[in-house]
Amino acid sequence: MHAFEAILLGLIEGVTEFLPVSSTGHLILASYALGIPDSAFSTTFIITVQCGAIAAVLTLFWRRFLDFEILKRLAIAFIPTALVGFTLYPFIKGVLLGNEIVVVVALFVGGVVLISFERWHTEPPPTEEDSLRAITLRQALFVGMFQAIAVVPGVSRSGSTIVGGLLLGLRRTAIVEFSFLLAVPTMLAATGYDLLKNYHLFPSADWSLLALGTVTAFVSALVALRFFLHYVKTRTFTIFGYYRIALAAIFFFFVLL
């Protein structure tokens, strides 16, 4: 991997992390298209570069992490993903990450799900309880279960948690913000665990590439976060469903074949 590729992947990560299109899936497909060989470092890069997007969340929403009630809900929602991620870590990193076919299928199926969901879903009327504190502990746990599905690259962590929250009757703006916040413990745990297992394998040049990609992801995620927060106030996710299907079809027919 070269510096330009690290910057490009960091940009892709920052732009897609919080959209329901799967940042990990985009990174895997982009790495394949760029001819970056599958290796321990490339998969670690895909995991670690997400810290840049997490730093953007902390920058914009740091006050939320001072609220004990919100932290309690985030901790409960994190449990299912932690159990699945740590248990299946060898399979996720050794088999799923880097598998373009898995990503393409997940992107396509996820796109169909998003479009179908938005066709029948009806937003509940606004109430005074539309806040993160109004999310019950039971709802937080179920949102975490939906997030755990996203260990499959191409599913989209934000997409699965947001759709899961909407199915539970949460308001769109509330579950979108909760999804952003839930990314922090999820990605920090994934990155920390992966680096702990693999840091000794990488020379100093690889660490420079990780830093370059992470900084790029941070800057681009700041812009993407503001856009998405504004977008969800008035629009559905249908366009992202069509985008996922189109990307899956283009990559399958013009790259994999």
Mean pLDDT to the nearest integer, 30-57: 86
> Sorting pLDDT into bands at 50, 70 and 90, what band is 242?
very high
Q: Judge if pTM exceeds 0.85.
A: yes
CA-CA-CA-CA torsion sign (62, 178, 102, 257): negative
What pLDDT score was predicted for residue 126? 64
For 84-116, the pLDDT digits (tens) are 988 888 888 777 877 889 899 999 999 999 999
For 165-212, the pLDDT digits (tens) are 999 988 888 898 899 899 999 888 888 888 887 777 677 768 888 899
> Sorting pLDDT into bands at 50, 70 and 90, what band is 244?
very high
What pLDDT score was predicted for residue 45? 85
What pLDDT score was predicted for residue 127? 62
Within 50-133, where are the H helices? 50-61, 68-87, 89-91, 100-120
The dihedral over CA atoms of 182, 188, 189, 190, expressed in degrees to the nearest 10, equals 100
Evaluate if residue 2 carries a pLDDT over 80. Answer: yes
